[in-house]
Amino acid sequence: MSASLPRVSASVAMPKGSLQQVFDNLRAAGYTLVGPTVRDSAIVLDEIDGLDDLPQGWTDEQQPAHYRLKKAPDNQYFSYGVGPHSWKQFLHPSRLRLFSVEKNNGSWTIRPSQEPPPRYAFIGVRACDVAAIGIQDRVLIGSEFRDPHYAARREQVFVLAVNCSHSGATCFCASMKTGPKVTGGFDLALTELPDIFLVEIGSEAGAEVLGDVPWEAATAFDLGRASRVIQRAERQDGRHMLTDDLPDVLYENLESPQWDEVATRCLSCANCTLVCPTCFCTTVEDVSNLRATSAERIRVADSCFNRDFSHVHGGNSRPTIRSRYRQWLTHKLASWIDQFGTSGCVGCGRCITWCPVGIEITEEVNAIRAKGGK
């Protein structure tokens, strides 16, 4: 045991029960904890109090259009993959008031939203989702215009990441080079072993949170066991995507017959964009009171699968499911790279699991590659 704090980039071993102490320290430091918990037969992200709220002993079975919770063979805290929620619901809320307006004597007073956002500690962030947060950073605060609502939430976040020990049948993080090991963008990163958590320190804030928590320097044995856990997860990745010829293979096949084919299956329900941790699109709702003396602008999540998304007066630039699916896939895997210098897909597999008809992004790219058709 050590009284001093571990240094950044060190790895330490911590008794499993001490994670509660880490939670308590975070709460004492003013953080609101959000993490995985079981609700409505799925592992969702919500505010949590302690270890008891974590899905201990649960795992998930994921396949295209299929998600089922089941008892895990072990009694670990993190033996499952990502669920339908992602951290964007906290950083880039699906409903947010931009400002309100009061009208008085012919003029207006504009009041920006000023509720201070919660200071979140994200518990159990997987490697793909750490990468997804980095991607939304580029979109929302990485250019000349910055979204102050995102920035205010983002800059206060504490990230307690978890290396995956169990990779799902719809995962392809290894193909997208985002996981299963977390390689940056965290304050603390856990690897769960049967007896201990191996904790990698990612920042000063991470080291401080360990405070009075009992820890020991990690041994070679612990480090070896942890890396085998992660290797196993990597081997388990159930899907793969060839990325060498992206974006070209999509740009060169904008008229492929495969777009027509997938349009016969796609319902244009927008589930994939809703669950995707990087999709950022929004629209604005304007509401006013009955006497029209005050009004609000509310930003709400939107999707390129919604028909109104590309409405222009007297027409629609993407009136067909074919054109909307093509926008989604080419944005994720091609134009995103031109826009932000990174793919828009981290390989989390959510869009595959939560597609009601089981369309697989990995298979669609393969089909376009195979069919061509320009």
Partner 1 sequence: MSTAFLTSEVRKPIDPMLPHLATIQDVKPTAVGISMFSLVFADPEERANYRFQAGQFNMLYLPGAGEVAISLSSDPGQPEVLGHTIRDAGSVTRAIGRLKAGDVIGVRGPYGSAWPLNKTRGSNLVIVAGGIGLAPLRPVILSILRQRSAYGQVVLLYGARTPADLLYTDEFDQWRQGGIDVQVTVDLGEESWRGLVGVVPQLFYRIRIDHKKTAVMACGPEIMMRFVIYEALARRIPKDRIYISMERNMKCAVGFCGHCQFGPTFICKQGPVLNFAAIEPFFGKEDF
- Scanning residues 130 to 149, which ones bind partner 1 (CB under 8 A)? 134, 137-143, 145-149
Helices 321-330 and 361-371: crossing angle in degrees, nearest 10, is 100
Each residue 328-367 as x (binds ligand SF4 by CB under 6 A) or -, in order, gives x--xx------------xxxxxxx---------x------
Considering the complex, state which of residue 95 and residue 146 has its C-beta at the smaller distance from partner 1. Answer: 146
Q: Beta strand pairing status for 11-15 and 196-201?
A: antiparallel
99 strand-pairing partners: 112, 297
The residues, ordered by sequence, that sit 6+ positions from 153 with a Cβ below 8 Å of its Cβ are 90, 91, 117, 118, 120
Contact 209, 8 (CB under 8 A): no
Please select the residue that binds partner 1; options are 67, 80, 309, 354, rule is CB under 8 A: 309
Answer yes or no whether residue 275 interacts with ligand SF4 by CB under 6 A. Answer: yes
User: In terms of DSSP H, where are the helices of the chain?
Assistant: 19-28, 88-91, 127-141, 148-154, 173-176, 204-210, 220-236, 248-251, 257-265, 271-275, 321-330, 336-340, 350-353, 361-371
Considering the complex, state which of residue 3 and residue 312 has its C-beta at the smaller distance from ligand FAD. Answer: 312
- SS3 state of residue 41: coil
Helix (H) or strand (E) holding 39: strand 32-39
Please select the residue that binds partner 1; options are 17, 57, 108, 265, rule is CB under 8 A: 108
Nearest to 173 by CA among 26, 7, 348: 348
Considering the complex, state which of residue 23 and residue 354 has its C-beta at the smaller distance from ligand SF4. Answer: 354
- Least distance between ligand FAD and beta carbon 309 (Å): 10
Number of helices (H), then strands (E), in the chain: 14, 16
Considering the complex, state which of residue 1 and residue 312 has its C-beta at the smaller distance from ligand FAD. Answer: 312
Answer yes or no whether residue 286 interacts with ligand FAD by CB under 6 A. Answer: no
What one-letter code names the amino acid at 45? Answer: L
297 strand-pairing partners: 99, 286
- Least distance between partner 1 and beta carbon 332 (Å): 12
Answer yes or no whether residue 290 interacts with partner 1 by CB under 8 A. Answer: no
Each residue 8-27 as x (binds ligand SF4 by CB under 6 A) or -, in order, gives --------------------
Q: Which of residues 298-317 bind ligand SF4 (CB under 6 A)?
A: 303-304
Q: Which of residues 299-318 bind ligand FAD (CB under 6 A)?
A: 311-313
In the complex, which residue's CB is closest to ligand FAD? Answer: 312
Each residue 333-352 as x (binds partner 1 by CB under 8 A) or -, in order, gives -xx--xx-------------
- SS3 state of residue 158: strand
Q: Kindly state the number of chain residues that form the binding site for ligand FAD, as judged by CB under 6 A.
A: 3
Please select the residue that binds ligand SF4; options are 223, 281, 298, 367, rule is CB under 6 A: 281
Q: Which of residues 98-127 bind ligand FAD (CB under 6 A)?
A: none
Token pair in block for residue 92: 């880039």
Q: Residues interacting with ligand SF4, by CB under 6 A?
A: 273, 275-281, 303-304, 327-328, 331-332, 345-351, 361
By the criterion CB under 6 A, which residues form the site for ligand FAD?
311-313
